[in-house]
Amino acid sequence: MERSFDLLLVGGGPGGYVAAIRAAQLGMKTALVECDQLGGVCLNWGCIPTKALLRSAEVYTQLLHASAYGLTASDVAFDLPQIVARSRAVAEQLSSGVKHLLRKNGVEVIRGRGRLAGGGRLQVEGPDGAVTQLRSAHIVLATGARARAMAPIEPDGKLVWSYKEALTPQVMPKSLLVVGSGAIGIEFASFYSALGADVTVIEMLDRVLPAEDEEISEFARKAFTRRGLRIITGATVTGLAKGDDDVMVTFESGGQPSTLRVERVLSAVGIVGNVEGLGLEHTRVQVDRTHIVVDEWCRTTEPGVYAIGDVAGAPWLAHKASHEGILCVEKIAGAGHPQPLDPRRIPGCTYSQPQVASVGLTERQARETGRELKIGRFPFHANGKAIALGEPEGLVKTIFDAHTGQLLGAHMIGAEVTELIQGYVLGMTLETTEAEFAHTVFAHPTLSEAMHEAALAAFGSAIHV
C-alpha cells in the first residue's frame, strides 16, 4: 500500500531533521526516513561528542595549571571511561531531544533505508526487510557523508582508528599519529595531547589547518607546537607495518623517507558523500566526486529531488546543512523569504586549544580579487579580559575593501573565538562596513573588544596596540 506525503526526507541529521521540522511548521505533511540514529553523525559521532571530550580535556588542563590562578589542586588525574561515558551521554540526550522535537511537530519518522523509485516514489526497506512504498512530489536527500578510507591508512577498528574509535577509546594510547590536519584531525590531536599522549600530526599540504588564512595557520602551528604537538607538513604516509599493539609508520617528507612507531593511527583525511543505494543511477541526478550536484535552491537535475548538507558538497558543516534544509523547504513551500546561501558567509570553527574560527575570504583570496585591501590585526595579549582569563595567546585579523569599507573576511585564533566569530558573520550578512564596526560600543572587559580593535586597526585607529 502506497502512502502519500507533501514532503519526504531521507536522512535525519542536522540537515534532514531541521528541514522536516520547518516543513511541518509550514503545514506540510512530512515524513523523515532514517536507518540509524536521529541527529546523524554530527550529533552522535561528530560535533557534539567531540566537544564534550574537548571540554573534559580543557578542564583537566586548567586543573594542571591551577597554581597560575592562585589555586591548589593535588592528585589531578583523569578517568578515561568516565570522560567517554559523559561524551556519549551528552550525545544521547540531544538525540532524544531531536526525537521529541520531531514528534512535537507532527513529523512521522520511518525507520529504514530509502531508495528513489522514480515518479516521486520512495521505497523504504525497514530493519525487518519489509518494504514500504511512499510518494511525494518533493523528496529531499540528506544522507550526509562518512570518513574517507584511503590506502594505506584504512581504519581497522583497533590499531588504525576512524573518528568513531577515537571517540570511544578503551585505553589512552601513549602515542598517536593523526593523519590530516583539518578541523577533525586537529581537534582529536588537541584532546589526546592534553591528556598526555605523544601526538604527531602529518599533513600532506604545506601547512596545518590548510583551509584557514595563512597567517592564522602559522600562528596555530606555533601554538600547537608549544602545547606539545609534533606537526609534519608536506608529508605523505606510504606504508604501515602493524604489530600486536603498535604500528610502524613509513612516511615521506621533502622527498626523504622516514619512520615513526606509534601505538595508534587516526585517519582524518576527509569525507565522501553517502550516495550509494539511493537509486540515483535511474535518475538524472548528477554526482561529482561522491557529492550530489545541486543549484542555489538545493534542486538536483531530477525534478522533485533535492539534496542538502554534506551529501551536497562543501563546506561540510552541520550549520550549513541546517540552513540549506530551511531554505530548500521554504522555497518548495513558497513561504518566508528564502535566499540562496552564500558560502563565503558560513563560519568555520575548530575547537582546538587554542580555538580557531573564520568567515569570508582569506588574505590570499581577497588579494586575488584585485581589490585594494585594509587589514587589521589585534593580539589577545593586549586584551584585558584575555589576560585576566590567563589566555593571552590569540589574534584577531580583519580584511576590508579599502574603498568601500566592506568586510571581506575575519580570522581568529584564541580563547572562545568560536563564540566570537558570529559577530563578524552577522556584520557580513547585514553588509556592515568598517564605519559601523567603529561606531559600535563593545562591552568592557570582554574578549569581543579584540574584534572592535581589529576593525579599527585596519584603518589605523586602534587604541590599545
pLDDT of residue 442: 97
Domain 2-147+272-333 has CATH 3.40.50.620: no
| Confidence at residue 15, expressed as pLDDT on a 0 to 100 scale | 96
pLDDT per position as a tens digit, 268-305? 998 999 999 999 998 999 999 999 999 999 999 999 99
Cβ within 8 Å of residue 71, ≥6 positions away = none
The whole-number pLDDT of residue 321 equals 97
Residue 260, beta-bridge partner list = 249
| Grid coordinates of 273 | 558523500
CATH 3.50.50.60 domain range(s) in the chain: 2-147+272-333, 160-269
Q: What is the mean pLDDT of residues 234-257?
A: 95
Residue 1 pLDDT greater than 80, yes or no: no
Q: What is the pLDDT of residue 324?
A: 97
Separation in Å, CA 75 to CA 64, 83, 247, 427: 9, 17, 32, 46
pTM over 0.85: yes
Residue 6 pLDDT grade (very low, low, confident, very high; cuts 50, 70, 90): very high
Please compute the mean of the pLDDT values over residues 35-61 and round it to a whole number. 93
Boundaries of CATH 3.30.390.30 in the chain? 354-458
CB atoms within 10 A of CB 425: 18
pLDDT in the model for residue 336 = 84
69-115 pLDDT tens trace: 999 999 999 999 999 999 999 999 999 999 999 999 999 999 999 99
Using alpha carbons, select from 271, 263, 312, 358 the residue that is nearest to residue 19.
Answer: 312
User: Active site includes 444?
Assistant: yes
Contacts of 224 (CB under 8 A, 6+ apart): 186, 189, 190, 201, 208, 231, 352
> Rounded to whole angstroms, what are the CA distances from 218 to 35, 141, 221, 418?
42, 38, 5, 18
pLDDT digit string, tens, across residues 332-389: 999 988 999 999 999 999 999 999 999 999 999 999 999 999 999 999 999 999 999 9
Reported as a pLDDT band with limits 50, 70 and 90, residue 391 is very high
pLDDT tens, 167-204?
Answer: 999 999 999 999 999 999 999 999 999 999 999 999 99
- Consecutive H or E run containing 97: helix 80-104
Alpha carbons 427 and 209: distance in angstroms, whole number = 25
The neighbouring-strand residues paired with 133 are 2, 123
Output the DSSP codes for 384-399.
HHHHHHT----EEEEE
Q: Tell me what pLDDT residue 46 has.
A: 87
The chain-wide mean pLDDT, for the chain, equals 96
Confidence of residue 42 (pLDDT cuts 50, 70, 90): confident
Give the C-alpha separation, 170 to 189, whole Å: 17
C-alpha 305, offset from chain centre: 26
Catalytic one among 65, 282, 403, 444?
A: 444
Q: Is the pLDDT of residue 433 over 80?
A: yes
Domain 354-458 has CATH 3.30.390.30: yes
Give the least confident one: 22-31, 141-150, 204-213: 141-150
Name, in order, each residue with C-beta under 8 angstroms of 297's C-beta and a sequence gap of 6 or more. Answer: 306, 327, 328, 331, 338, 340
* Rounded average pLDDT over 129-148: 95
Q: Is the pLDDT of residue 255 over 90?
A: no
CATH of 160-269, one of 3.10.105.10, 3.50.50.60, 3.40.50.1400, 1.10.10.410: 3.50.50.60
> ∠ at Cα 64 (59, 66), nearest 5°?
90
